[in-house]
Each structure stands twice: as structure tokens, then as C-alpha cells.
Structure 1
Amino acid sequence: MQSLRVGFIGLGIMGRSMARNIHRAGFPVTVWNRTERKMAEAREWGAETAASPRAVAEVSDVVITCVGDTPDVREVAEGPEGLLKGAREGLIWVDMSTIAPEATRELAARAAEQGVRMLDAPVSGGDIGARQGTLSIMVGGDAEVLETVRPVLEAMGKNIVHCGPHGAGQTVKACNQILCGLNLLGVVEALAFAKKAGVDLEKMIEVTTQGAGGSWALANLAPRIVKGDLAPGFSVRFQQKDLRIVLQEAEQMNLPLVGTAVVQQLLRSVQAYGGDDDGTHALIRVMERLARLDFTR
């Protein structure tokens, strides 16, 4: 199965580790990214590089895209030098970006017109999961296509679930982002409560991560907050994009999502203070302002 030639488009915080793990698993990998510097880094670990998404598709059996937003996916897929311009019949396109479910269904239909089989396969697990190859992968599309590319996905993730037809993976990712936002708010409020009460924050984290209130955010982001490390595993900018998708979909369903809306507004305050590219756990800065706390002391 390692004879599958894999193309990878998008070498951001997540994508660069994901592509490297595919290469480590023994698959030939060809990459493209908008910035040459990141392609140069990929060449150092053994990837081939291409001049465009189209050129990636021309030499690949499977093309993975992992870019920022719906317009970015459309550009790398359907633009003048997009992957669909270089795709031959039978190519499998796996979009691991997080975009709107409806956009995914539209792109899958257009790809099918060219004989290209598409899966939507957004991920969760942050930069840690990407580096360690332990991402959760939520897949929408044809189950048989998933089985064809499963060995490639297994190089990146440990929990690979077929969620349903095209768009189902993106819908489940939206659910994940609701949970991420609300879990993070809980972490920030718990830390603020402990800080205000004078409790040792590291002790509080140690105990509560093993209790019923434990979560990935508590185990992985709370220690970063205590250390003052707001570097992005996943940035405020992209979380806000994801929550925008969630709330737009909820509006179409006439579904009230009160907690999600609150988290989006609080993160907007982070953005207003210049935190767009900080990690999502920069939400602590809002709590510092609201409660007159300083987590740096």
C-alpha cells in the first residue's frame, strides 16, 4: 500500500507534521505551500516539492489539502493552478481542512464530474496530535474510498471514524469545535476561581484532570496558561473561523447555541487586544481583564 503516491497541500502548524508523518510511514510525498520557506523545510526531511497544487495532483494518487478556510480550499482545488486542473480520473482528494459542510458537498460534486473521489476528513488534536500522529479524523464520503486511503490516514491519526456521506465529517468537526470552545471556557473559569482563592494552580490541575471535570483542554492547555505560554497549537484566528461556521450552520437550522456564541464573543475580545495569532487558551486574557487577575504573577 506504500506504493500510493501522496500529495500534501498546506504546511501550516498542523500540515507540516502531518505530511512528515506520512513520509515516515513510507509513502512518497510531494508537497506544495504558498511560502517557499516551508517547502524548503519539507525538502530537508525528504519530501519532493511542486510548483503548484496542479503539479502536485499530476504526480499523486492521493492529494491531501490542509488549508485555512473555504476560500483557500476553493483556490487550491479550482483555481487556475488548482489540483483539479492536474487531476486524472481515479485520483482521491482528501480535504483535511475545516470548512462549511455545504461547501464540501459542492466541491465533492465538482470533483466527481472529473472522476475524482473526495473525502472530507477534518481533524482534532492540535499541534500535539499532529506531531505525535494521534489525531482524531472525522471522515465524510464513500466508505470504500476511506478504506483505500486508510493506511495514509493511519500515519496521522489513531481514531479514524467514517461519519457518513459528504459533509458529515465537517458536521462532526463543528460539534468538536463547540465542545472545544465550551471546555476551554470551563478551564479558564476554573483557573480564575483557583487563582482568586489562592489555591496552587498546578495542584488544582493535577487533581481535576483525573476527575469528572477532566478534559483535553484542561490537561494540555491549562499547564500552558500557568506557564504563560500562549503560543498557538491552534490559533484564535482559526477557532473563530470554525465557530463562525458553527453559528452559520446553527442559524440555518434555527438552533440556539448560547454557550458557543458567548465563547465566540469572548474570543473576539482576545482579537481586539491583538491576540489573533495566539493560541485559543489566550482566552485567559479576557478573564484577567474581567476579574482583575494576573496569571503572570
Structure 2
Amino acid sequence: MTKKTIGFIGTGVMGKSMARHLMKVGHELYVYNRTKQKAEDLIADGAIWCDTVGDLAGSVDVVITIVGYPQDVEEVYRAKNCIFERARQGTYLIDMTTSKPSLAIEIFDEAKERGLHALDAPVSGGDIGAKEAELTIMVGGEVGAFTEIEPIFQLMGTNVRRQGEAGAGQFTKMANQIAIASTMMGVAEAMAYAKKAGLDQENVLASIATGAAGGFSMTNLAPKMIKADFAPGFYMKHFIKDMNIAIESAQEIGLNTPGLVVAKKLYQELAGEGEGDSGTQALYKYYMMNG
């Protein structure tokens, strides 16, 4: 693989692990994060710190962003001294934030006008997938840009697929989040039911996790519910953001999503009780408090 200079913006729960995989194979890595402290481990391992987004964008061949909200994506791309203003012609811009499909299309169009290559490439797999380089990466954008960047994606994930033109990655991630929303209700309800029925939850899980009820949430998050481990692999507040985007997008294409609407309501109630920084598995608390 041809080594590239890569800029990584957003070294949080997932981003730090993703960036480290790129360094391990010899890519020169530049990093920026609003809170420098979150990047100090990477800097200690050889990453180059940049004081501004613009400094990073003007120094690299590839810019990867994984930030919190669509407004954060807009800021790093469009604010003064940021990506669009400073990136050199021919730079590849990869937004791995879960964001609006419409914004991904806007970024692609503006990038093309500036002689830049943009891909939307949101991920699924949480902190575990990021640490193990086993993320699912859903990509939207032109075939040529995808082909050029695919080897970089392969360093961070095991299921990398181009879904179509600009925005297709984000549309696919919304489908993923819609599936998870109702699934998480089912898993939390099942674990709460087992508890209320006086069963050994771990024994129940050993039976049902390998049957038709099995899946990522049952295998990875149900055990955390049982142990009352609500530390975030993926923040509840960010999942609420994703569900809001998915509902808005579904309305735009004329689709009713009742399961998604109910899940968002439950999560918002928990966030209102101060659980926004908990992991998504904290939905279990709702059932135990209201059972």
C-alpha cells in the first residue's frame, strides 16, 4: 500500500482506535481534536498535533473526520480556516461521522467544485469494532475515490462496501440505526423480563443469544445490562442524534417508522434523567425503573 499523510479529526471513543490502526502500518498521521488531551496517547505514539483544522487540512493527502453532530461536520468543513478553505487540490475528504445524507451530498458537490474528492463513510461496530479493526464501513461517493481509499478503510474495518453515489453511505447508516433502535428495545425488554420473572439472566442469555434472537446487541450489550455496566461504547446522546436524523430522512422519503419513534421517545426520557453520556445499553434502566 502506498503510504499517505492522513489527517484525523475527532479522536474520541472510536476515533482514537481507528487512527491508531492507520499509524501501525506506517501512515504519517496528523491529528486534531477540540480537547487535545484526548489525542495525547496518539501524539505520544508519534502522531503530529495540529492546532487548527485548517493546519491539518493543508498538510495531508487524506482528511478523515469523525465528529459528533451534523453541525460539527459543517463547522470543520465550512468555517473559516477549515477543510474547504485549506485542503489542497486532489485531497481526499472522508467523513465517517453519522450525519445527514443531504449534508453528505452538499459536501460532495462543493468538494468537486474545489477539485477535492469526498466520500461519506459512516461506521457501525462501536468501541469494540474500532479497537479490533472490525468496523462495518458504509461508503457513498464516486467509484474512483472509493477504490483509492479502500485500502485505508480495510485497516479500520472488515466489512467495507460502497453503497452508491454521494449520500448512500449515510442512507445505509440510517437503515442500520433504524434496525438497532427497535432491536435495543427488544433486548432490554427481554433482559428486564428475565429479571422480573426471577430467572438467572446469564443463563437465559446463554440460551437465547445463539437462537433466532441472537445478534450484536444481544451478544455484546445484553451482558453489560446484566452487569449494570452502562459505560459508553456509543453514547446515548449520539444515538438520539442519529434517530432524529433517521426520522427526518424517513419523512423526506415518505416512510413511517413507528418503532424508531417509540425508541427515540424512551431514550429521550432517559437522557432527560441525566443518562445522555451513558451507553445505549442503559435503555435497560428504563424498563427496570418503569416495570
> Please, what TM-score do these two structures have when normalized by structure 1?
0.96
Q: CA offset at residue 272 of structure 1?
A: 1.4
Verify the 8 A CA contact 2:32 2:39 in the aligned structure 1. yes
Q: Which amino acid aligns with 1:172?
A: T
Q: In 1, distance between residues paired with 2:209 and 2:150?
A: 32
Verify the 8 A CA contact 2:16 2:39 in the aligned structure 1. no
Q: Which amino acid aligns with 1:26?
A: G
Q: Where does residue 171 of structure 2 map in the other structure?
A: 171
Q: Where does residue 152 of structure 1 map in the other structure?
A: 152
Q: CA offset at residue 4 of structure 1?
A: 1.1
Verify the 8 A CA contact 1:232 1:280 in the aligned structure 2. yes
Q: CA offset at residue 39 of structure 1?
A: 2.7
Q: CA offset at residue 25 of structure 1?
A: 2.2
Give SS of 2:290's match. Answer: helix
Q: In 1, distance between residues paired with 2:285 and 2:192?
A: 11
Q: Where does residue 55 of structure 2 map in the other structure?
A: 55
Gaps of at least 5 residues in structure 1 are 292-297
Which contiguous aligned blocks of 4+ residues in structure 1 show a shift greater than 2 angstroms? none
Q: CA offset at residue 42 of structure 1?
A: 1.6
Percent of aligned pairs sharing the same letter: 39
Gaps of at least 5 residues in structure 2 are none
Q: Where does residue 202 of structure 1 map in the other structure?
A: 202
Q: CA offset at residue 122 of structure 1?
A: 0.1
Give SS of 1:160's match. Answer: strand
Deviates more, 1:56-65 or 1:165-174: 56-65
Matches within 5 A, 1:247-262: 247-262=247-262
Q: In 2, distance between residues paired with 1:8 and 1:200?
A: 44
Verify the 8 A CA contact 1:6 1:62 in the aligned structure 2. yes
Verify the 8 A CA contact 2:63 2:93 in the aligned structure 1. yes
Q: Which amino acid aligns with 2:236?
A: V
Matches within 5 A, 1:1-297: 1-291=1-291
Q: CA offset at residue 41 of structure 1?
A: 2.3
Q: In 1, distance between residues paired with 2:253 and 2:57?
A: 36
Q: Which amino acid aligns with 2:49?
A: T
Q: CA offset at residue 192 of structure 1?
A: 1.4
> Please, what TM-score do these two structures have when normalized by structure 2?
0.98
Q: In 1, distance between residues paired with 2:232 and 2:30?
A: 26
Q: In 2, distance between residues paired with 1:119 and 1:278?
A: 30
Verify the 8 A CA contact 1:2 1:26 in the aligned structure 2. no
Q: Which amino acid aligns with 1:55?
A: D
Q: Where does residue 294 of structure 1 map in the other structure?
A: none
Give SS of 1:30's match. Answer: strand
Q: In 1, distance between residues paired with 2:16 and 2:2?
A: 19
Q: What's the RMSD between the two structures over aligned residues?
A: 0.9
Deviates more, 1:111-120 or 1:78-87: 78-87
Verify the 8 A CA contact 1:11 1:33 in the aligned structure 2. yes
> In the comparison of the two structures, how many residue pairs are matched?
291
Q: In 2, distance between residues paired with 1:3 and 1:272?
A: 46
Verify the 8 A CA contact 2:32 2:50 in the aligned structure 1. yes
Q: CA offset at residue 135 of structure 1?
A: 0.2
Deviates more, 1:47-56 or 1:93-102: 47-56
Q: CA offset at residue 107 of structure 1?
A: 1.1
Q: CA offset at residue 27 of structure 1?
A: 1.0
